[in-house]
Structure 1
Amino acid sequence: MDVLLSIKPKFAEAIIDGRKRYEFRKSKFANKDINRVYIYATSPIKKIIGIFKISNIIEESPSALWDLLKDHAGISEEEFFNYFGNKGTGFAIEIKSVEKFENPIDPKTLIPNFVPPQSFHYIKIQSK
């Protein structure tokens, strides 16, 4: 199983260029068997710009996540805590093996009736 993550363009680019080694989420994937994560850069790009594999998923309080990972978060402290708000638990997806697509993909060519997910969407895409 693969997953498509909606990520703001500035953070998607930070993942691609290696400045952001963790993607933070308020909830975890119910499916534990994720092979690949497709990076969907949201508006104005609206394309799948790359792919990565998950090394680990860390579950902690937002404060603990920030203390542990701030040097590789690729996000400001203010943006980080604004994102989590008053959540007691957060998740950090450790990113490995990032691949940037030479030609970003219009998701509508892969997923019929594509609607950008608020957070993530499970997908099955055939490898080429």
Structure 2
Amino acid sequence: MRVLLSIKPVHVENILSGAKTFEFRRKIFSRRDVKTVLIYCTRPVGRLVGEFDIAEILEGHPEQLWLKTRSGSGISKEYYDGYFCGRTQAYALKIGAVRAFAEHINPSHVMENFSPPQSFMYVGHQRAPLFEQAHF
């Protein structure tokens, strides 16, 4: 099972370069069979640009999670604190193997009625052939 995440361009660049080895989330998907993240780079890019395997999902109080993930955060402590402000629970996806797509893909070409998710969107195995045809 894949999940599609909307990620800002600066963070996408850091993921693809290897500078960011954790992707932080306020909410996490309930399905535990999700193994891969499809990266939707938000505007102005607005394209599917790659994917990564989830090596591990960490969770905990934001302060504790920061101590475990700061070296691979790819963000400042101030940015992190702002993102998790008022939260008692935080999540971090440990980024495994990263695969950048040779050509960025307009999601509307492979997903009917695509609208970028605020948090995440499941992309089941039934759609895998569409992505395979897109030459990822």
Q: Tell me which interval the TM-score lies in, with the shorter structure as reference length.
A: over 0.9
More helix by percentage: 2
Aligned residue for 2:128?
126
Please give the alpha-carbon distance, in whole angstroms, between the structure 1 residues aligned to 2:79 and 2:106.
28
**CA distances 1:69-126 after superposition (whole Å, capped 9, x unpaired):** 1111001111111011110010010000101111011110111000000011001332
| Alpha-carbon offset, residue 48 of structure 1 | 0.7
Residue 88 of structure 1 aligns to a residue whose secondary structure is coil
Please give the alpha-carbon distance, in whole angstroms, between the structure 2 residues aligned to 1:7 and 1:74.
13
Residue 75 of structure 1 pairs with residue 89 of structure 2: no
Q: Which amino acid aligns with 1:30?
A: S
Aligned residue for 2:105?
105
TM-score normalized with structure 2 length: 0.91
The size of the alignment, in residue pairs, is 128
Q: Which amino acid aligns with 2:128?
A: Q
Whether the aligned pair in 1 keeps the contact of 2:27 and 2:119 (CA below 8 Å) is no
TM-score normalized with structure 1 length: 0.96
Residue 126 of structure 1 aligns to a residue whose secondary structure is helix
Question: Share of identical aligned residues, percent?
Answer: 39
Whether the aligned pair in 1 keeps the contact of 2:25 and 2:91 (CA below 8 Å) is yes
Residue 54 of structure 1 aligns to a residue whose secondary structure is strand
Gaps of 5+ in 1: none
Q: Which amino acid aligns with 1:99?
A: R
Residue 65 of structure 1 aligns to a residue whose secondary structure is helix
Aligned residue for 2:41?
41
* Runs of 4+ deviating beyond 2 Å: none
Please give the alpha-carbon distance, in whole angstroms, between the structure 1 residues aligned to 2:8 and 2:81.
16
